[in-house]
Structure 1
C-alpha cells in the first residue's frame, strides 16, 4: 500500500489535492508521520495491522465523515482538542481570533496589587477551543464559557481538563437574554463569540462532509435573521461588559459590515471589521 494508492481511494469524493491532504492528516494522526516520511515511502513499511486500521479509517472518510472526527481530534493554536459530531471542528480563522485577543491584552491589565484578573466570556464555546486557548495564553485571566449543548460542554470540559486550563463552563442560551445574569460589579473585560452565522440559503454551496456531519445547531441561522446571535450577544454585552471592554466576533464575511453597523447603532464606541489570513472580512472587534 502506497501513499498514492491511499489518496486515490478518496477520489472523486475529494479532488486529488484535497484527497492527498486528508490522507496526510490521517497518517500523521495515526502514526505521527511527517510529510517527508510519507513521500519517502514509509507507508509501505507499516505492519499489516496498521494497514488494516488505515483501510477502516478510509472507509469512514469515504462515507463523508471528516477526517478530524475519524481521528477524534484537531490541532488548534498549538493544542490538541478532542472533537466529535457534537462540536464544530476548530478552524484556523478562529485561532486568528484568539491570537488577536491575546495580542490586544499582552500587557499587565491592572497595576493594582494583587493584579485584577482579566475576565473573559466565550459565548457558544463548542469544543472549548477559544476559552481554553485564552485561559492558557493570557496569564491571570478568569475565563467563563457558555453553550446551549450539554454534549458540547462535556467535550469542552474534557479538553480543558486534559490541557490543564481553568475555565468555568456553564449551560446557557444567549437567545434567552432576559434570563441571563448581568456582569454586575465584576463585569467582563472581554466577550468573544464564534456563533452560528451561515444562512440556510448558503447550505447548497457547502461541502457535504460539513453539512451532513458537523452540528447544524452551531452552523446555521435563518435567512431572514442573519444577525440573530450577534444582536443577542450585543444586548448582553451592553449590560455585562465593562466600559472600555472589548467585544470580539467571528462573522460571516457577507454580513461583516452589517454586524459592525449594528454595534455602532447599539451604542458601542467603535466597531472595526478585520480580515483573516485569506483576505476575508472575518472578524468584527468593538469597544463599549
Structure 2
C-alpha cells in the first residue's frame, strides 16, 4: 500500500469522528511519527510504497483511532511550541491556543522576573516551555493529580529542564512563597458546553482538568486571583487562558480585586481567550 491509499483509508475510517481535513491532519501526524518524515515529504512522496512493518504499525494506530481515542494519546506524544511531550489519558492534550498564551508570557516576561508559578500543570507543557525559553526563571507547578505530575516530571526530563512540581489543590493551597509571575490554564468549560465538544475529548481526556459547574464556572479564576493577591510580588504578572464565553465575567473578577493594567487578548481565531493583569507596585 502506498501513502496516498493509506491516507484515503484513514479519512474514510475516521469519518464518524472527524471531517476530511481533520482526518487528513491525523493521518499526517501518525504517518510522520511512524515513517520519520515531514508532512511535506508525505505530500511529495504520496505514491511511495510503505514497508510492511510500517504499514502494520499505521493500521494498528488506525484501529485505536477508530475507538475515538485522540491521535496524540495513541502515539503517546505530541509537539507543543516546538518541543516534544508525552501525553496519556491522565493529562489534557496541549492545544494551539495554549501555545499563544505561552508566547504572550515569554514576550512580556523575558529577563524581567525571577520566579514563576504555573497552576494546573497537566502534562507540564506551559512551565517546561517557559523554563526552556526563560532559563533564568525559578519555575514551580501545581496540580491536584499525582498521575498528571508523573507525566510532567517525565516531560521535564525529556526536555532536559528542572521545575519544582507540587501536588496540591489550588482551592485549598497556601504558601509563604512569593512569585513574580503566575500563569494558569485552569478548568473552565461549563457542563452546558459539552454538546459543542468532540466525543473523543469527552471520553478520553480527564474531566477534572476540563469542566466546571454551570453554577460556579469561574471558581478557579476567583481562587487563583486571590492567591495572586497574596503571593505575587509588586508589579507581578498574572496570566490566564479563559473561556471565550465568559471573558467579561473573568475580566470583572480582576477589576473587582483591583488588579491593574488588565489586558484581554484574542487568539488567532479571533476569540477572547487570554487575560494578563498586574499587581500594584
TM-score relative to the length of structure 1: 0.92
CA positional deviation for 1:10: 1.6
Aligned-pair CA distance for 1:39: 2.5
For residues 105 and 237 of structure 1, what CA distance do their matches in structure 2 show?
16
Structure-to-structure mapping, 1:200-239, within 5 angstroms = 200-239=191-230
Distance in 2 (alpha carbons) for counterparts of 1:166 and 1:143: 8
Instruction: Give the whole-Å Cα distance in 2 for the aligned partners of 1:121 and 1:39.
Output: 42
Deviation of the 1:49 alpha carbon? 1.8
Query: SS of the counterpart of 1:12?
Result: coil
Q: Distance in 2 between matches of 1:228 and 1:143?
A: 24
Instruction: Provide the C-alpha distance between the structure 2 equivalents of 1:234 and 1:13, rounded to a whole number of angstroms.
Output: 38
> 2:47 & 2:63 partners in 1: Cα distance?
18
Tell me if the contact between 2:116 and 2:138 (Cα under 8 Å) persists in the aligned partners: yes
Structure 1 spans left out of the alignment, 5+ residues: 110-116
- The answer to whether the Cα contact below 8 Å between 1:10 and 1:19 also exists between their aligned partners in 2 is yes
Choose from 156, 161, 166 the match for 1:170: 166
* 2:179 corresponds to: 188
Coordinate RMSD, CA, aligned: 1.4
In 2, Cα distance between equivalents of 1:204 and 1:243:
42
The range that moved more, 64-73 or 46-55, is 46-55
Comparing 1-10 and 139-148, the one that deviates more: 1-10
Aligned match of 2:41: 37
**Pairwise mapping of residues 120-131 of structure 1 onto structure 2 (< 5 A)?**
120-131=116-127
Task: Judge conservation of contact 2:114–2:136 (CA < 8 Å) in 1.
Answer: yes
SS in 2 for 1:146: strand
Residue of structure 2 equivalent to 1:256? 247
2-side partners of 1:269 and 1:34: how far apart?
45
- How many residues of Structure 1 are paired with residues of Structure 2 in the alignment? 275
Partners of 1:244 and 1:229 lie apart in 2 by: 22
Question: Residue deviations 1:155-190, cap 9 Å, x none?
Answer: 00000011111200010100114xx1132xxx2000
The answer for the alignment partner of 1:114 in structure 2 is: none
1:93 aligns to what? 97
In the TM superposition, residue 273 of structure 1 has moved relative to its aligned partner by: 1.0
Larger deviation, residues 76-85 vs 269-278: 269-278
SS in 2 for 1:223: coil
In the alignment, structure 2 segments of 5+ residues that lack a partner are none
- Which residue in 1 is equivalent to 2:61? 57
- Given that 2:17 and 2:199 are in contact with CA atoms closer than 8 Å, whether structure 1 keeps it comes out as no
Deviations 1:135-164 (A, max 9, x none): 110131100000000000000000001111
In the other structure, the counterpart of 1:16 is 20
Given that residues 88 and 127 in structure 1 are in contact (C-alpha distance below 8 angstroms), is that contact kept between their aligned partners in structure 2? yes
TM-score by length of 2: 0.94
1:73 equivalent to 2:77? Answer yes
Partner of 1:112: none
The 5-angstrom pairing of residues 123-162 of structure 1 reads: 123-162=119-158
Residue-by-residue CA offset, 1:39-58 (whole Å, 9 max, x unaligned): 33457522212111111110
Contact 2:17 / 2:198 at 8 angstroms: preserved in 1? Answer: no
**What do residues 6-51 of structure 1 show as CA deviations (whole Å, max 9, x unaligned)?**
3222223321121111111110122223233323345752221211
